[in-house]
Amino acid sequence: MKKIPEYNIDFYSDSFIKNPFPHYAKMRSLGPIVFLPKLNNYAITQYHFLKQALLDYERFSSANGVAGDEIGSKFYIYKKIQYLAHHNEIGGKDEKYLKDLDLFFQKETDVDDFIMTLSIFFKLKDELALRGECYTAYLDNENDVRTCTFVDDKKQSFNIDCVFPNHTNDPRLVKEPISLEHIDMDVNMFYLKLQDSCGIQMCRGPHHKIFKQKSICLALNTPVFWTKTIRGIYDNQFTVLNTPRQLAEAHRKALIYASIYKNYVSNTRDFNNERKKACKLILRAEKMVSRGWTQTTLEDDKTEWLVVKFNKIQELFDKKHWESLKEIIQTETKCSICHSDYKPEDSVFLSPCGHTFHVCCEKSNTTTGLLGWINQMVRNTIELRKKNLPDQGKEMCCMICSHPFF
């Protein structure tokens, strides 16, 4: 019987975490199955065999985590945070870096474990617990937050928000720290489980029938989607999962279920809440793009709104569903709001119809550009309500052709 090849490498070393791909190539060259002595585990390295394993979800289940060992599940997370901190990618002065990290946990004991272990790598400078105050702050679930400030060996500090479900006896409320119908982007679908079966977990499917396209709903609950999302993170790609209307509807239902709003039974569609969700969604996408990420569409054969750098728009024409709009997009050299020429690094909102607008005509000024236009609709509605005048129930549509944005 042929001996299974071995690859003796420390998967948790700084060099491996920084650039694992040469090691992956070496493992593939050794054979389809490789034994990893340092992990006491086996790795499937080649596409054909890996595809078979991913499709066999009963035998090769990821329900209990995706790391090969309990120590690995935890240690990889801590070493990754250490790498980000040491390279100033958390708390860096440049706006392209993260100001802090938001980590979601299944329960508070996981938070205790995490803080205790991370204190080995960094000095815990301060901790602030917010309990019963964060209902609307984190994805509309009833979560508590413990904000920790750590200091590294260079005396630089950074914050980590540890988010976890608070204790409630109401079985109708979501028990996970995140739920699909409240999530904006696929890269935000994960939380940490550090006890029992350790690892990174993906939130479950929607509790309410928010997603109208059944194909999307099914796709989000398959191992293939897990793999696609992880691959996207490696490639600095993200996808927006919910429209502003879906997020607003999920928020309304969450208010109904929450005990503090148990008498809240409004079934009225709130256009203003949708506009606020739209502004937040576009702004978050713009920040991701400014940090070097690329927004992709959920369905490969469908045009959806995107935030993209102006000098990257030409790359979209490689995809068949955008090619049909090539003629329109190529004529869009000026913002239709401020009428100024686009600069190469400008963040542009690309509508499904092909027309484009500055996200903000003045950098970081949300009263200008498309965000300013939507925010003005919000202010107008507030004024109408103050005067007891009827709300203008109006969709957010392209100012040029009236095609809906979302």
What per-residue confidence (pLDDT) applies to 384? 80
Confidence of residue 202 (pLDDT cuts 50, 70, 90): low
Give the pLDDT band (50/70/90) at residue 208: very low
In this model, does residue 349 exceed pLDDT 90?
yes
177 contacts 168 by C-beta, under 8 angstroms:
no
Tell me: pLDDT of 388 over 50.
yes
Q: Give 205's contacts (C-beta < 8 A, 6+ positions apart).
A: 180, 217, 220, 221
Locate 38 and state its tokens: 């340092």
Answer yes or no: are the C-beta atoms of 228 and 187 closer than 8 Å.
Answer: no
Three-state DSSP state, 151? strand
353 within 8 A of 398, measured Cβ to Cβ: yes
Better pLDDT: 352 or 175: 352
SS3 content of the chain, % helix, strand, coil (to 5): 35, 20, 45
Higher-confidence residue: 237 or 211?
Answer: 237
Domain boundaries of the chain, sorted by first residue: 1-60, 62-208, 288-386
- Per the prediction, the chain carries an average pLDDT of 75
CA atoms within 13 A on the CB side of 373: 18
Query: How many Cα atoms sit within 13 Å of 14 on the Cβ side?
Result: 7
Give the C-alpha separation, 43 to 36, whole Å: 7
- Please return the burial class of 22, using the count of CB atoms within 10 Å of its CB with bins 0-12, 13-18 and 19+: exposed
pLDDT value at 362 more than 60: yes
Highest mean pLDDT of the ranges 54-63, 194-203, 354-363: 354-363
Q: For the packed helices 108-121 and 70-86, what is the interaxial angle rounded to 10 degrees?
A: 60
Tell me if residue 306 falls in helix, strand or coil: strand
Cα radius of gyration (the chain):
23
Give 359's pLDDT tier (boundaries 50, 70, 90): very high
Closest CA to 149 of 129, 166, 167, 134: 129
- pLDDT value, residue 211: 42
SS3 371: helix
* Predicted pLDDT of residue 350: 92
Please state the rounded mean pLDDT for residues 224-230. Answer: 67
CB atoms inside a 10 Å sphere around CB 104: 25
Beta strands (DSSP E) in 9-168 are 33-36, 41-44, 100-104, 123-130, 143-151, 157-165
Instruction: Label the pairing between strands 294-296 and 237-239.
Output: parallel
Q: What is the pTM of this model?
A: 0.66
Best mean pLDDT range from 66-80, 222-236, 284-298:
284-298
What's the rounded mean pLDDT across residues 66-79? 54
Rounded mean pLDDT of 178-203?
67
Task: State the average pLDDT over residues 160-184.
Answer: 66
Q: Return the pLDDT at 30.
A: 92
Question: For 238-254, what is the mean pLDDT?
Answer: 80
- Specify which of 12-16, 94-98, 325-329 reaches the highest per-range mean pLDDT: 325-329
Query: If you average pLDDT over residues 358-362, what whole number do you get?
Result: 92
